[in-house]
């Protein structure tokens, strides 16, 4: 009779050429991506809760400037003291081998510094969108992560959403024919006038930086091209709430190399705006709601989209674990270069608002 050790050894040899076993048998599961969340506000809380259902990503640490929040998260998620940091001492995470990646979910103006510090500490970084305040900052962050040999990903949860990906698949396979037009409507009536999203120093702008980026990014993955020009017009009806440098409503247009055009709206002063529409010579696709937390609803010229809803942040974190740990490639990219492209367009839209002129985008 063979010993148990001999049996395991022979089993390992016999299955060495079958890489798919890890996804089918629980005792072959790969280790999880161990994540520390930086910024324990509303969205950080949503991500933390969603991660409890992840298969490949695990919440193991927190970074916050509020001791009471750290304590509450420790109790809720069983996080040890050694994995808890504040904004002053989190560079010490470099010595912590229990943490693989930092998810930066702080106000926009802090992303640049926080991402670069995490990269210098040798940790992979996931950063909420917009990745930075402008393209120059974004390029700094991409460079820092490259130099540190860590991955930089951006929290584009819609890039993993099933109905969205079905439209991308149909477009790639030519089912809409030549793409002619995209419309993206993104907005809501914002509440508390004292929140950081209405503080230019922290937000870097207004609705465009928060909700309009969905229409920018959506136009790019729906049309399947990079825009070559933008025009834009800003409207402000409440200068008390939306002070200088904080945009209330921006309408913007983009042109693509094929001749397709996009017409988009970003606003903090209207509800019922969460719609994408893609039109081609052979058919169309519509999502409404298109970017909310779900469920996303949609249809195309051949009928309703019926892909099941899954919690976006759970799917995102599992997929990002595969990208970081296994080198998987996302169908729609979520890396720092993708985030940088959106920032370049945002810069151009603000310039078009200031100048009233069409702004060309470098290829």
- Point out the residues that are catalytic: 129, 214
Say which residue the tokens 């996931």 belong to: 126
Burial of 164 (0-12, 13-18, 19+ CB in 10 A): buried
Largest Cα span, the chain:
84
Name the residue among 334, 179, 175 with its Cα closest to residue 257: 179
Interior/surface letters 341-358, b for 16+ CB within 10 angstroms, e for the rest:
bbbbbbbbbbebbeeeee
Q: What 8-state DSSP symbol labels residue 191?
A: -
CA distance 320 to 32: 11
Classified as helix, coil or strand, 87 is coil
How many C-beta neighbours within 10 Å does residue 71 have? 14
Cis peptide bond prior to 220, omega within 30° of 0:
no
3-class SS of residue 267:
strand
CB atoms within 10 A of CB 314: 20
Query: How many Å apart are CA 146 and CA 69, to the nearest integer?
Result: 32
- What's 93-138 look like in SS3? HHHCCCCCEEEECCCHHHHHHHHHHHHHCCCEEEECCCCCCCHHHH
For residue 289, what are its two tokens? 């709601």
DSSP H or E stretch at residue 218: helix 213-223
Contact 33, 101 (CB under 8 A): yes
In whole angstroms, give the CA distance from residue 352 to residue 359: 6
């Amino acid at each position: 009779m063979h010993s148990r050790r001999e049996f395991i050894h022979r089993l390992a040899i016999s299955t060495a050429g079958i890489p798919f076993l890890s996804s089918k048998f629980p005792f072959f599961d790969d280790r999880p991506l161990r994540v520390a969340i930086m910024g324990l506000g509303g969205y950080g809380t949503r991500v933390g809760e969603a991660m409890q259902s992840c298969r490949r990503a695990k919440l193991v640490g927190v970074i916050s400037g509020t001791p009471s929040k750290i304590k509450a998260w420790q109790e809720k998620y069983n996080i040890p003291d050694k994995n808890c940091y504040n904004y002053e001492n989190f560079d010490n995470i470099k010595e912590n081998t229990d943490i693989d990646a930092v998810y930066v979910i702080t106000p926009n103006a802090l992303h640049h510094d926080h991402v670069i510090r995490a990269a210098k500490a040798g940790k992979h970084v996931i950063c909420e969108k917009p990745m930075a305040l402008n393209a120059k900052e974004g390029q700094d962050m991409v460079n820092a992560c490259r130099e540190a040999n860590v991955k930089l990903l951006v929290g584009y949860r819609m890039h993993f959403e099933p109905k969205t990906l079905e439209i991308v698949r149909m477009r790639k396979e030519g089912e809409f024919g030549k793409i002619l037009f995209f419309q993206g409507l993104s907005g809501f009536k914002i509440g508390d006038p004292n929140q950081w999203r209405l503080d230019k120093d922290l937000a870097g702008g207004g609705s465009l930086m928060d909700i309009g980026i969905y229409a920018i990014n959506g136009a790019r993955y729906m049309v399947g091209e990079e825009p070559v020009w933008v025009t834009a017009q800003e409207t402000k009806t409440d200068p008390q709430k939306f002070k200088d440098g904080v945009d209330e409503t921006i309408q913007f247009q983009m042109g693509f190399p094929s001749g397709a055009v996009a017409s988009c709206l970003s606003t903090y002063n209207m509800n019922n705006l969460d719609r994408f529409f893609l039109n081609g010579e052979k058919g169309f696709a519509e999502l409404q709601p298109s970017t909310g937390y779900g469920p996303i609803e949609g249809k195309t010229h051949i009928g309703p989209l019926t892909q099941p809803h899954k919690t976006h942040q759970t799917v995102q974190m599992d997929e990002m674990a595969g990208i970081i740990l296994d080198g998987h490639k996302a169908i729609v990219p979520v890396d720092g270069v993708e985030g940088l492209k959106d920032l370049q367009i945002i810069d151009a839209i603000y310039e078009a608002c200031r100048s009233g002129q069409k702004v060309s985008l470098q290829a």
